[in-house]
């Protein structure tokens, strides 16, 4: 009889790992501590709950590394990608979803699978036997984190991940704000008007920055350090790096024309993205924050169009735990010192829903193959998945290892035959090559 595969954590990575292994014919036991043990950031006990954002980012599989990763997961029969597309919302060129419907559908599919059983418990120690995947994500519990540190022989690493606030759509003043995706991206009118934009003049921007810097912030506990991942910086931390930083980041005004005043270009723009299928909720894009709740409401209502905003959720901050994967994991994502244990998802040092899910997909397939008496090699490094796993299992510099999103900088360079290629052509060459290699990888498993 085939040995069971135990998976700890029912987030994006754990859910995808369970789905892939179960579809390969392996009996899976999925351990999830929620809702029995709650976390700061989660609201439900459902699997694959989206916490920080409702976006899987770019869906362009021809000229974007994230979109290529979407393509690869779909080609591999990924549950997360299938459910995301079933519950997608207009978001320009991005893949955004109705987060509650998405999570509920993932939960229903997993619970309906004959090869998956469930245990609602907190796993606080690393088991000495059996086959396990740990996909406990950024909110790994303190006890389990300590056990991982003890087993790996090194101190665990941590940074802080911040959550953006969500606004009720009917509280946004549309006589000030307007609907438009940046550069009018999207194939339909709905896509081209997927974002709500709030314009700022120079004086309004300066006053906003002053209030942001002066606002009361969440204090860190003793012994904690604020080693933020640059892709998810709180807005006040960005503002501390320079008064113009936000204007060249989440508040950049490029590619947008104010319907109410088309002749005057805004000095800065705050964008809100639809957060549910009903269109009743919008999240403030890139506005992760560690301001205290009272300060958030005051500061965010300084944004033109949000002066009467009502918040469905204010921002928050939580600890994010990850291991030094280049030192600790082998090419099969196994802990070198305890090879019966695999790690997947954000705890391995990838950043983002898409990347975490992809590492869960690989871990689930690799574990299933091992239980069936074979070894599944990772996809080639010229694929998006292969580039990520190569990076975290040896491609990154261990001494300076930090969480990483997928990007073309992780791919082997393209041979520019016939002279130097433009960026768009070069990116298309990357994805064409990746699709061919990934298709061959999948065919090799049949």
For residue range 298-315, what is the model confidence (pLDDT) as tens digits? Answer: 999 999 999 999 998 888
Q: What gap in Å lies between CA 177 and CA 272, rounded to an integer?
A: 10
Residue 35 has pLDDT above 90, yes or no: no
Q: Is 12 labelled as part of a ligand binding site?
A: yes
This prediction has a pTM of 0.81
Residue 1 has pLDDT above 50, yes or no: no
pLDDT value of position 108: 98
* pLDDT tens digit sequence for 53-106: 899 999 999 999 999 999 999 999 999 999 999 999 999 999 999 999 999 999
* pLDDT tens digit sequence for 159-207: 666 678 999 999 999 999 999 999 999 889 999 999 999 999 999 999 9
Q: Is 373 labelled as part of a ligand binding site?
A: no
pLDDT value of position 424: 80
Residue 359 and residue 348 in contact, taking contact as beta carbons nearer than 8 Å = yes
Out of 2.40.30.260, 3.40.50.1860, 3.30.430.20, 2.40.160.20, the CATH code matching 163-319 is 2.40.30.260
Tokens (6 digits) for 428: 């298309």
pLDDT band of residue 351 (cuts 50, 70, 90) is: confident
Does domain 5-156+323-444 fall under CATH 3.40.50.720? My reply is no
- Minimum mean pLDDT among 157-171, 205-219, 271-285, 371-385: which range? 157-171
Question: Can you spell out the DSSP letters for 211-243?
Answer: HHHHS-BPPPPTT------GGG--HHHHHHT-T
Q: Is 10 labelled as part of a ligand binding site?
A: yes
Range list of β-strands (E), 41-104: 55-58, 88-89, 94-97
Q: Is 13 labelled as part of a ligand binding site?
A: yes
Structural domain boundaries in the chain = 5-156+323-444, 163-319
Q: What gap in Å lies between CA 371 and CA 9, rounded to an integer?
A: 20
């Amino acid at each position: 009889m085939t040995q069971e595969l135990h998976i700890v954590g029912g987030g994006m990575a754990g859910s995808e790992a369970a789905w892939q292994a179960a579809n390969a014919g392996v009996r899976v036991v999925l351990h999830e501590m929620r809702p029995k043990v709650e976390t700061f950031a989660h609201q439900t006990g459902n699997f694959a709950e989206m916490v920080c954002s409702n976006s899987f980012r770019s869906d362009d599989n021809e000229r974007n590394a994230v979109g290529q990763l979407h393509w690869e997961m779909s080609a591999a029969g990924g549950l997360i990608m299938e459910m995301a597309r079933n519950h997608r919302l207009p978001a320009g060129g991005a893949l955004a979803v109705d987060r509650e419907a998405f999570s509920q559908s993932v939960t229903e599919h997993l619970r309906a699978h004959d090869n998956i059983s469930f245990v609602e418990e907190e796993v606080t120690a690393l088991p000495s036997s059996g086959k396990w995947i740990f996909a406990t994500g950024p909110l790994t519990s303190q006890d389990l984190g300590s056990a991982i540190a003890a087993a790996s022989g090194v101190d665990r690493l941590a940074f802080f991940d911040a959550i953006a606030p969500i606004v009720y759509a009917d509280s946004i003043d549309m006589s000030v704000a307007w609907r438009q995706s940046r550069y009018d991206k999207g194939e339909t009118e709905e896509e081209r008007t997927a974002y709500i934009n709030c314009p700022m003049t120079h004086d309004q921007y300066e006053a906003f920055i002053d209030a942001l810097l002066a606002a009361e912030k969440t204090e860190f506990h003793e012994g904690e350090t604020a080693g933020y991942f640059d892709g998810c910086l709180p807005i006040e931390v960005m503002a501390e790096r320079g008064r113009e930083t936000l204007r060249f980041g989440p508040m950049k005004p490029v590619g947008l024309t104010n319907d109410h005043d088309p002749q005057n270009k805004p000095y800065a723009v705050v964008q809100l993205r639809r957060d549910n299928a009903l269109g009743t909720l919008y999240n403030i894009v890139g506005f992760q924050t560690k301001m205290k709740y009272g300060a958030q409401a005051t500061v965010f209502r300084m944004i033109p169009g949000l002066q009467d905003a009502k918040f469905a959720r204010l921002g928050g901050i939580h600890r994010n735990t990850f291991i030094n994967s280049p030192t600790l994991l082998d090419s099969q994502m196994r802990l070198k010192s305890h090879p019966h244990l695999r790690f997947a998802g954000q705890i391995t040092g990838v950043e983002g829903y898409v990347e975490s899910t992809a590492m869960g997909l690989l871990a689930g397939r690799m574990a299933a193959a091992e239980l069936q008496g074979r070894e599944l090699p990772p996809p080639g490094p010229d694929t998006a998945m292969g580039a990520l796993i190569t990076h975290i299992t040896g491609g990154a510099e261990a001494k300076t290892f930090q969480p990483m999103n997928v990007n073309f900088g992780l791919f082997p360079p393209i041979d520019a035959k016939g002279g130097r290629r433009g960026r768009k052509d070069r990116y298309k060459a990357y994805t064409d090559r990746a699709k061919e290699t990934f298709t061959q990888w999948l065919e090799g498993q049949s």
